[in-house]
Amino acid sequence: MFRSLFSSARNYGFLDSVQQGYIYLQKFSLVNIKLKWVKDRTMDSVVVGKRDLKAAGILVSVIYSSSEDYVPIYRLSRHRGQLGLPDEIKLAVFIRRYPNVFVESYSLDSGGSPVPCFGLSSEAMKIHREEVDILRENSLEFRDRLCKLLMLTRDWMLPLQTIDQLKWDLGLPYDYQDSFVMNHPEKFSFVRLPDVRVGLKLLFWDDKLAVSELEKNASLQQQVEDIKNGTLAFPVSFTRGFGMKRKSMEWLREWQKLPYTSPYADASHLDIRTDVSEKRVVGVFHELLHLTLHKQTERKNVSNLRRPLALPQKFTKAFERHPGIFYISKKNDTQTVVLREAYNGGELVQKHPLVKIREELANLLKKGLLDRSRGVYKKSIDANLVEEI
């Protein structure tokens, strides 16, 4: 029956995407291919330092937004959950690593004990003002990034905690719920979820945004026949010296020829036990990483996305099965997924203005560490008194 359907469609000269996908579903099951992880120093280099950069960037935003020039450590500690720092690192100790960014003072509590307070250096203030300007100038772009994230989900909605895990990667302000979302009531609404948490819901679907990066660049990256048949292939590159067995190479070639399902399309008809479904999973994360500024995110940040994105169990295995598309860096005591195609060596192919500002802050952090190691900044008696806070 399937053969006659296929022959009939071929005689008429076409196969629409639904028919083609259906036939492939019957033909291709999930092939059991395991590819080894190979360390890539160049890819690791684009991850190193990002944890401290994120934490410092958020702290700069918090201090800058305060009505006071110096913020007590106990108030900064309220934001610790957003910073991504290991539990064993005390916040005051982390802040003191960068004396050219954070200026320390102290105030006395009711018992007369010194309480450390932190303000910003003039260099840090200048960089952050530039960041604020970029966020304001690109407000609609960041609005669309958030819209596209919600459009990837089944119900156009995500819990705020899940968005919080991705907000730094997306380029959203640390206080985006108040400073950003509230400025776009025509697009977003806060909703109460069944589990009593608060979520953010997209109010209207925008067809103009429902085009993936792979589809957008199809005319430049894809063969005409593949575009016509809807079998778009992902850009692939491997770590230097990476070796693949012939069986794996043949599987990858065939996998690339499978139908591409847009991450914005309904995929409920796909059988999760097939390579076609896995190609959709890869497409979802390919698009998600393209929404991030640095084209990378920690693996744990996507752990809560399985149900909202309608993904199968153990969906993150797709990262390991496709090392030519994704690189998993194990730096910073975590796993970070990096989109290979976004980098030329250790540099982003396309840098958002906000990335350039973050690089300025990263350079300032490096300089602070170096100067501190050289003894440029002398620890004061007052700082010694509160070293263990």
- Helix then strand then coil, in percent of the chain rounded to 5, is 50, 10, 40
* 270 and 381 assigned to the same domain: no
Which has the closest alpha carbon to 262: 277, 247, 284, 240? 284
Residues 103 and 382: beta-carbon distance below 8 Å: no
* 292 and 330 assigned to the same domain: yes
Place of tokens 């992880």: 37
pLDDT profile of the chain (389 residues), mean per 10: 37 43 49 78 94 96 93 94 91 94 87 89 97 95 97 96 96 93 95 94 96 89 77 89 79 91 93 90 96 96 90 87 94 93 94 96 92 67 41
C-alpha separations of 244 from 61, 203, 339 in Å: 46, 46, 20
* 230 and 308 assigned to the same domain: yes
Tokens of 186: 């025509």
Query: Residue type at 11?
Result: N
* 336 and 371 assigned to the same domain: no
* 110 and 33 assigned to the same domain: no
- Beta bridge partners, 192, equal 198
Whether residue 201 is contained in a domain is answered as no
Whether residue 367 is contained in a domain is answered as yes
Residues 64 and 131: beta-carbon distance below 8 Å: no
Burial class (CB in 10 A: 0-12, 13-18, 19+), 253: exposed
Work out the end-to-end distance of the chain between its first and last CA atoms, rounded to an integer number of angstroms: 74
Domain range for 336 is: 15-45+207-344
Residues 234 and 222: beta-carbon distance below 8 Å: no
* 211 and 335 assigned to the same domain: yes
Predicted local distance difference test score (pLDDT) of residue 231: 84
Predicted local distance difference test score (pLDDT) of residue 383: 45
Residues 191 and 157: beta-carbon distance below 8 Å: yes
Beta-carbon contacts of 353 under 8 Å, excluding residues fewer than 6 positions away, are: 134, 138
* 365 and 332 assigned to the same domain: no
* 124 and 251 assigned to the same domain: no
Alpha carbons 281 and 287: distance in angstroms, whole number: 10
* 237 and 337 assigned to the same domain: yes
Whether residue 281 is contained in a domain is answered as yes
Alpha carbons 158 and 154: distance in angstroms, whole number: 10
Alpha carbons 260 and 286: distance in angstroms, whole number: 12
Whether residue 182 is contained in a domain is answered as no
Task: Tally the domains of the chain.
Answer: 2
Task: Read off the CATH number of the domain in which 67 is found.
Answer: 1.10.10
Whether residue 293 is contained in a domain is answered as yes
DSSP-assigned letters across all residues of 169-224 = HHT--TTHHHHTGGG-TTTEEEEE-TTS-EEEEE-S--TTT---HHHHTHHHHS-H
Tokens of 260: 């591409």
Query: Residue type at 340?
Result: R
C-alpha separations of 83 from 78, 128, 159, 168, 169 in Å: 10, 17, 19, 10, 12
* 312 and 244 assigned to the same domain: yes
Alpha carbons 244 and 241: distance in angstroms, whole number: 10
* 212 and 321 assigned to the same domain: yes
Whether residue 173 is contained in a domain is answered as no
What pTM value is reported for the model?
Answer: 0.86
Whether residue 247 is contained in a domain is answered as yes
Whether residue 79 is contained in a domain is answered as yes
* 38 and 85 assigned to the same domain: no
